[in-house]
A and B are shown apart, each in its own frame.
Chain A
Amino acid sequence: MPYDYTPFPYRRAPGLDGPEARHPVFIVGAGPIGLALALDLARHGTPSVLVDDNDVVSVGSRAICWSKRSLEILDRLGLGERAAEKGVGWKVGRTFHGEEEVFSFDLQPEPGHKFPAFVNLQQYYVEQFLAEAALDNPLIDLRFKNRVTALDPVAGRLEIETPDGAYTLEADHICACDGARSPIRQMMGLEFDGEVFEERFLIADIEMQADFPSERRFWFEPTFHAGQSALLHRQPDDIYRIDLQLGWDADPEHEKRHEVVRPRIEKVVGHADFRIDWVSVYTFQCRRLTSFLHDRVIFVGDSAHVVSPFGARGGNGGLQDVDALGWRLAAVAQGAEVAMLRGYDRERGFAADENIRNSARATRFMTPADGAERLFRDQVLKLAAQAPFARGMVNSGRLSVPCTYPLDGPDAPDLPMGARPGTVAPDAPLGNGWLSERTGHGWLLLAIGQDAPTVEGVKALTLGSDDVLRDRYLGDADCALYLLRPDGIVAARWRDAGAQEIEAAREAACL
């Protein structure tokens, strides 16, 4: 069934009838990133005004692969289980060269995690779930059909246009979550740095009743169209997503026509019994802003950095931006030093570089330049069918996993590497629930196999050790203390520590 794009309610903004009090946080763009940020701030007790120039969710599937980390972040906003239930889980990826299957991979996650490695779910569902939660939240003032037309980034003054006229508003912090073509970024005259890949892709959502497995299928040099690559994913509601790479000289308007799209898709799926739901043509770049902080404006998600779609690093990267920003911005709005936001810029700049590096490498593998690049790419594909080592070099996108932030908090290096400072605290089963449900709400001291010292402003969670906790948190040690930030990132860890050391590590982690 096609998705029902019901508009959200438009309400007259208070600023049209008299000046509004200065707001602590103003968010531009009610896509997945802006909505998630508003909900995350509300979770930390900080109100926000969130505007969007439109009043419906995004059209077409757009971001579809949501990572385990994104599901954990959505879970803290109350939406993880809903997204995982609605989504299609998948773990097998098949890679083809022409018609031949070169190899397949299995993302079978190890047991003992609340969420799977990935679920596929159309972006419009994620936006719908987030928007419903935001409309229900008394700390979020969500204003549809409100478009920012001008801003003073130093004063924090905005001009906003609505169907009922224009008004002005002031805010301490302005979060630009307004996407890859960010109007706020353009109004401020800020430029992206990085590579532009001259590649065009055609995306189609098709609806079909098919007995087709829930797999990711990727073709290099497919036989069913002239471009370099193709990708097929299954989504909920019997919707399948197909990405076909086009030559740079392709005419997008011609390629988008259903009579041109249909025969190709018939070749992909092997029959003509489907309905085309949505077709679009996109190009991509691998670029970022040098800094995500400019005066009172904070860039979050695609407005700050853009990547190619292979690797699912756009939407997932944006949600991790929200994760790194929410607790800091809430603290600043409640009186902490504004310098605390520099940690957001530092960590997410590091992550953006990692995402761009991965995404640019995948793009180069898919569309090698003539000469040596093409020669090696083709021979890697040729070898992959016979020699296992070459499969590791086949790059159809390295799927999003959270990066490890370069933190220098106290570390006990003989504890497991997978939980060192800078990593997301690994999930584990906990009674009838999960450790990930207990982390990421505020500062948390995880005491495993010992009592937790009392530290002001830090909640303690004391756990006995079991096999999973030993594997993920202890290694050969009998006991350990882990200090987790409000985003669930490990800030510091010790075999044993006193309250003063822990307090000092917490203060250092806010710089």
Chain B
Amino acid sequence: MSLNTHPNIPDPDDFYAELLAAHHGLSEAESHALNARLVLILANHIGERDVLRDALALVREAG
């Protein structure tokens, strides 16, 4: 399976709000740490090396 870059989350605005809420009240360093944990947790959930490699390539391109 390749990386899905099409809309895939129902109610994306709700998710976005929850993402911001998770960072609420954190310092910049704490937010960075939270994001790092989130990346690790989601990467493990995806678990497919091809998909993860595609995602890493995409973030480098988009940056």
Contact = CB atoms under 8 A, between A and B. Distances in A.
Contacts of B36: 375-376, 379
Contact of B44 (A375, A376, A378, A389): A389
Contacts of A380: 40
B37 interface: yes
B33 A375 contact: yes
B24 to A, nearest CB: 19
B60 to A, nearest CB: 13
B45 to A, nearest CB: 9
B32 interface: yes
B40 A390 contact: yes
B3 interface: no
B41 interface: yes
Interface string B10-52: 0000000000000000000000110011001100100000000
B32 A376 contact: no
A387 interface: yes
Interface of B: 32-33, 36-37, 40-41, 44
A387 B44 CA distance: 10
Nearest to A372: B36
Interface string A378-403: 11101100010110010000000000
B32 A375 contact: yes
B-side interface mostly: helix
A-side interface mostly: helix
A393 B41 CA distance: 12
A393 B36 CA distance: 14
Interface in A351-394: 375-376, 378-380, 382-383, 387, 389-390, 393
A387 B41 CA distance: 9
B36 to A, nearest CB: 4
A221 B40 CA distance: 21
9 contacts: A375-B33, A375-B36, A379-B36, A379-B37, A379-B40, A383-B37, A383-B41, A389-B40, A389-B41
Contacts of A393: 40
Interface string A229-243: 000000000000000
Given A379-B33, A389-B44, 15 more contacts: A375-B32, A376-B36, A378-B33, A379-B37, A380-B40, A382-B33, A383-B37, A383-B40, A383-B41, A387-B41, A387-B44, A389-B40, A390-B40, A390-B44, A393-B40
Contacts of B44: 387, 389-390
A387 B33 CA distance: 16
Nearest to B39: A376
A3 B32 CA distance: 52
A392 to B, nearest CB: 9
Contacts of B40: 376, 379-380, 383, 389-390, 393
